[in-house]
Structure 1
Amino acid sequence: MKTIFVLFDSLVRNALECYGGSAVATPQFKRFAQRAVTFDNHYVGSLPCMPARRDLHTGRLNFLHRSWGALEPFDQSFSELLRSQGTYTHLISDHYHYWEDGGATYHNRYSSWEFIRGQEWDKWKAMVQPPLERFKQMYHPLQQPEGPNDGRLQTMVNREYMKSEADYCCPRTFQAGFDFLDANRDADNWLLHLECFDPHEPFAAPARFRERYPTGYTGPILDWPRYKRHEETALEVQELRANYAALLSMCDEYFGRLLDYMDRYDMWKDTTVVLSTDHGFLLAEHDWWGKNRMPFFNEIAHIPLVIAHPAFAAQAGQRRQALTQTTDLMPTLLDLHGMKPPATVEGHSLMPLLAQDMPLREAAIYGMFGAATNITDGRYTYFRYPHDMTRQDLYEYTLMPMHLKSMFAVADLAQAELARGFNFTQGVPLLKVPARRNAKGQPVGHTGQGSGYEDTTTVLFDLASDPAQLQPIRDAAVEARLLSQIGNLMAKNDAPPEAFLRLDLSVPAKSMRV
Structure 2
Amino acid sequence: MPEAIGYQHFPPAIFVLQFFIGGGKWLFLAISDLFFTYLPVNHMRLHFLCLLLVLAPVKKALMAGDRPNIIFIMIDDHSYQTIGAYGGRLQFLNPTPQLDKLAEQGMRFERCYVENSICAPSRATLLTGKMSHQHGKYSNKQNVVFDHHQQQFQKLLQKAGYQTAMIGKIHLDGDMQGFDYWDVLLRQGEYLDPQFLSPNGVEVAKGYVTDIVVDKALDWLQNGRSEEEPFMLMVHQKAPHRPWIPAKKYLDLYEEIEIPEPDNFWDDYEGKASAAAQQEMTIAQHMRLSSDLKIEPETSPRYQRIGFDGRFSPRHEKYRELSLSEEESTRLYYQLYMKDYLRCIKSVDDNVGRLLDYLDHSGLAENTVVVYTSDQGFYMGEHGWFDKRFMYEESFRTPLIVRWPAVIKPQSVNQELVQNIDFAETFLDLAGLDIPADMQGQSIVPLLRGKQPNDWRDHLYYHYYEYPGPHAVRRHEGVAGKRYKLYDFMEKMS
TM-score bracket for the superposition, by shorter chain length: 0.5 to 0.7
Q: Is 2:269 the counterpart of 1:174?
A: no
Corresponding residue to 1:265 among 362, 369, 372: 362
Structure 1 counterpart of 2:56? none
Shift of 1:174: 0.3
The alpha-carbon deviation at position 368 of structure 1 amounts to 1.5
1:322 and 1:357 in contact (8 A); partners too: no
**Which residue in the other structure is 2:340 paired with?**
243
Residue equivalent to 2:183: 114
Equivalent in 120, 128, 139 of residue 67 of structure 1: 139
Q: Give 1:29 deviation, angstroms.
A: 0.3
Aligned with 1:290 (options 387, 392, 403): 387
Measured after TM superposition, the shift of residue 379 of structure 1 is 1.1
CA contact (8 A) 1:5 1:274 kept: yes
Structure 2: which amino acid aligns with 1:301?
Answer: F
The alignment partner of 1:256 has SS state of helix
- Aligned equivalent of 1:205, options 246, 261, 268: 246
Query: Relative to structure 1, is the Cα distance of residues 71 and 122 closer, same or farther in structure 2, using a 3 angstrom cutoff?
Result: farther
Shift of the alpha carbon at 1:168? 0.6
Report what 1:317 is aligned to.
Answer: 411
Q: How does 1:9-408 map to 2 (within 5 A)?
A: 9-21=76-88, 22=91, 23=93, 25-63=95-133, 66-68=138-140, 69-72=144-147, 75-95=150-170, 97-98=171-172, 103-105=173-175, 107-116=176-185, 120=189, 167-183=207-223, 184=225, 186-214=227-255, 222-223=292-293, 232-292=329-389, 295-313=390-408, 315-358=409-452, 360-369=456-465, 371-386=475-490, 389-390=491-492, 394=494
Contact 1:116 1:172 in 2 (8 A): no
Stretches of structure 1 lacking an aligned partner (at least 5 in a row): 127-160, 395-514
After superposition, the Cα gap between the structure-2 partners of 1:122 and 1:235, relative to the gap in structure 1 and judged at 3 Å, is: closer
Paired residue type of 1:377: G
Contact 2:118 2:139 in 1 (8 A): no
User: Percent of aligned pairs with the same residue?
Assistant: 26
Helix, strand or coil at the partner of 1:46:
coil
Cα distance between partner residues in 2 of 1:358 and 1:43: 19
Contact kept, 8 Å, 2:126 with 2:424, in 1: the verdict is yes
The answer to whether the 8 A contact 1:283-1:289 is kept is: yes
Task: Tell me the secondary structure at the aligned position of residue 60 of structure 1.
Answer: coil
Distance (whole Å) between structure 2 residues aligned to residue 80 and residue 195 of structure 1: 18
Shift of 1:185: 6.9
* 8 Å contact from structure 2 (residues 193, 207) kept in 1: no
Aligned partner of residue 458 in structure 2, secondary structure: coil
Query: Contact (CA 8 Å) 1:215, 1:242: kept in 2 or not?
Result: no
Residue 180 of structure 2 aligns with an amino acid whose one-letter code is S
Question: Quick one: distance in 2 between partners of 1:58 and 1:249?
Answer: 30
RMSD of aligned residue pairs (Cα, Å): 3.0
Q: Deviations over 1:161-218 (max 9, x none)?
A: 99xxx7010100000010011123733221011110111111111233232211699x
1:49–1:220 distance in 2 versus 1, CA, 3 Å? closer
SS of the residue aligned with 2:166?
strand
**Would the aligned equivalents of 1:93 and 1:195 in 2 still touch at CA under 8 Å?**
yes
Cα gap change, 1:375/1:266 in structure 2, threshold over 3 Å: closer, same or farther? same
- Deviation track 1:259-295 (CA, whole Å, cap 9, x = no partner) reads 1111111211221111111101123321222123xx3
In the aligned structure 2, how far is the partner of 1:233 from the partner of 1:327?
A: 37
Letter in 2 for 1:67: S
CA distance in 1, matches of 2:122, 2:335: 29
Equivalent residue number for residue 505 of structure 1: none
Which residue identity lines up with residue 106 of structure 2 in the other structure? A
For the Cα contact (< 8 Å) 2:191–2:208, is it kept in 1?
Answer: no
* TM-score, length-scaled by structure 2: 0.63
User: What amino acid maps onto 1:365 in structure 2?
Assistant: Y
Report the AA paired with residue 378 of structure 1.
K
Q: Aligned to 1:109, what secondary structure does the other structure show?
A: coil
- The structural deviation recorded for 1:38 is 1.2
Change (3 A) 1:357 1:239: farther
Q: Residues 10 and 221 of structure 1: is their aligned pair in 2 closer, same or farther, counting only changes over 3 Å? A: closer
1:463-492 superposed Cα distances (whole Å, 9 cap, x missing partner) = xxxxxxxxxxxxxxxxxxxxxxxxxxxxxx
Residues 92 and 193, structure 1, Cα contact 8 Å, conserved in 2 = yes
Contact persistence 1:90–1:113 (CA under 8 A): yes
Write the letter of the residue equivalent to 2:393: N
Task: Give the secondary structure class of the aligned counterpart of 1:261.
Answer: helix
CA distance in 1, matches of 2:489, 2:211: 41
Deviation at 1:297, TM superposition (A): 1.6
| 1:81, distance to aligned residue in structure 2 (A) | 1.3
TM-score normalized by structure 1? Answer: 0.61
**Alpha-carbon distance in structure 1 between the residues aligned to 2:380 and 2:342:** 11
Q: Distance in 1 between matches of 2:246 and 2:87?
A: 23
Provide structure 2 residue ranges, at least 5 long, that are not aligned to the other structure: 1-67, 196-203, 259-288, 296-326, 467-474
Whether the aligned pair in 2 keeps the contact of 1:39 and 1:320 (CA below 8 Å) is: yes
Amino acid at match of 1:317: Q
Work out whether residues 24 and 249 of structure 1, in 8 Å CA contact, stay in contact via their aligned partners in 2: no
